[in-house]
A and B are shown apart, each in its own frame.
Chain A
Amino acid sequence: MSLVIRKYIPQLIVSVIIVLSVTFYYIYINDSIAKGFSTADKALSDWAVIVTSFALIVGGVDILRFHLTKIRREGIRQAPFSTVTIALLIIMVVLATIGWYYSYADPKAGITITTQPQFRWLYSNLYAPADSAMYSILVFYIASASYRAFRVRNPPALLLLVTAVIVMLGNTTIGGLIWPGFLGLRDWIMTVPNTAAFRPITIGAGLGTIILGLRLLTWREISWMGRRD
């Protein structure tokens, strides 16, 4: 029984959903059937969103478990960081719940989860700057990665370097002062050779997805359940 629940039922669900998704996408018959298909297709993706949303609760519990274990193991050295994380997790959930309550209790007030004043304040003044800072760190990482990577070790590396220099100069106003042609050359590189290099990767990924779908359909791909063979 356990094998049925843990192995066969999940695989069956996956196979049925693959077949249904393909059917809903390609088969038409008539307007009302097609409309029914599109409603059912939307329902399937809504279910997926709803089911995965519940995983957020598991995620919240897991964060608590991780930090409480860390405090227990590492003591006072870890406590300040983990306490801040746990406290903010709880505060954001409470504020969001207040916003959610008002969105139903008093819709005219225009308060929803994201527009709840304190939630919004914390988001804009604490989360947003931290989020932007992490994204901005890429400036430094791109610089150090390109400094290491653009070494002319062989002719293809020289080609890579020359292309990078043209694109970088094309992206700057200083490049335009050196030679106005950099801008047009950058646009050409980005739209022609660059797109040409991206397309095979996209196509390959599409083909890989189809064959992965086949393996899921024929129950040969089982790693996603943990290996239980």
Chain B
Amino acid sequence: MKAAKSLAAILAILLVIAIISSAAWFLKIQLYNPKTPLSGFLVLVGLLAAGYYFMSEARAGATFPVRRIPAFDAIEEAVARSVEMGRPVHMTFGYGTISSSMAPQYIAGLGVLSHVARMCGKYGAKLIATLGVPEAIATTEEIVREGYYSAGRPELFDPAYNVRYFTDQQFAYASAVQATLIRENVGANIVVGPFYAESLIFMEAGNMVNAFQIAGTARETQVPFFVLVADYSFIGEEIFAAGALASGDKETLASIRGQDIGKLLVIVLTVIGIIMLLGGFKLADYLNWVWKVG
């Protein structure tokens, strides 16, 4: 019943958008940016609506099966093995800043960090979180503290040991992380977030100390390095799903279904595009259509 209500609410919002758009068209008001294709806006609104619908269905009690992500499941194993070996766990979430387009991956990295911190609290592992972005220091400290405190192990929290900000210069950061991995002889190396050329440096340094390696990024240029070298890897958007899995919250997990609708849409559009291309038409020309009044 609740889900039906939210579906009705979403349809009502879409209807309002349609009415406002038609009114603007009728009154000759240039409502939408004439430099931006309208298809992008429609996809954005459609996906947000779909995601919200699934979230509200989950709130009403529906359950959506979510594919297990092996890399996510491996985090617990990695932490437990490090404890057995008496070695610390290392986690870094990259070099992208919160004020850039890398912000979503940075937030996904923080989501994984909060899961790692809780696992470290659960097994009593020593966690070393290294940073290349100064704005994350306070948040990281908070997340690590929360991980240990929520597991009832406050004595393990030592900010000067657990959280290490080195520098915001890319290769100086890479060099410091590499040195940390080797000097501290880490048992697990978890590297999830936006990464640049430093990705392979982290992976090879982890490999030198035979660390259990879990890596993931949505930066496509670095994905191959992680897939080749890490024991487990998150590929592309899996890092966003990892944050949802870490929360264990049914509603948050349901939002991933919105992502799947998006993928389905992309596949359908690709097939249509290929068929149209055979007929001499380009789908992109239609998708790039901008709404110009007058």
Contacts and interface: CB of A to CB of B under 8 A. Distances in A.
A148 B231 CA distance: 13
Interface residues of A, number: 65
Q: Is the interface of A mostly helix, strand, loop or mixed?
A: helix
A201 B47 contact: no
Contact of A55 (B47, B51, B137, B246): B137
B165 A63 contact: yes
Interface string B29-52: 111111010000100100110011
A225 B142 contact: yes
Interface in B96-138: 97-99, 104-105, 107-108, 110-111, 113-114, 133-135, 137-138
Q: A56, A63, A209: which has the most chain B beta carbons within 10 Å? A: A209
Nearest to A34: B33
B30 A227 contact: no
A203 B266 contact: yes
B98 A52 contact: yes
Please name the 6 residue pairs, one residue from A and one from B, whose CB atoms are nearest each other, closest first: A59-B134, A226-B142, A208-B237, A208-B240, A134-B171, A205-B218
21 contacts: A25-B36, A30-B30, A48-B98, A51-B135, A55-B134, A58-B135, A59-B165, A130-B171, A135-B197, A149-B228, A201-B235, A203-B263, A203-B266, A208-B108, A208-B218, A211-B256, A215-B252, A220-B251, A220-B255, A223-B143, A226-B145
A207 interface: yes
Contacts of A49: 99
- If over half of B's interface residues share one DSSP class (helix, strand or loop), that class is named, otherwise mixed; here it is helix
Nearest to B221: A198
Given A59-B167, A214-B51, 14 more contacts: A30-B30, A34-B33, A59-B165, A63-B167, A127-B169, A137-B201, A141-B203, A146-B228, A198-B221, A203-B266, A207-B262, A209-B240, A226-B146, A227-B114
Interface in B204-220: 204, 207, 218, 220
A22 B143 CA distance: 29
Residue of B44, B160, B167 with most partner-chain A CB within 10 A: B160
Contact of A223 (B41, B105, B135, B247): B247
B236 interface: yes
B174 to A, nearest CB: 6
A227 B148 CA distance: 12
Interface of A: 22, 25-30, 34, 45, 48-49, 51-52, 55-56, 58-59, 62-63, 65-66, 69-70, 127, 130-131, 134-135, 137-138, 141-142, 144-146, 148-149, 198, 200-205, 207-218, 220-228
Given A141-B200, A144-B204, A205-B220, A215 B104 contact: no
A131 B262 contact: no
Contacts, number: 210
B236 A208 contact: yes
Contacts of A69: 160
Nearest to B252: A220
Chain B interface size range:
35 or more
B108 to A, nearest CB: 7
Given A48-B99, A144-B204, A205 B143 contact: no
Given A63-B165, A224-B110, A29 B31 contact: yes
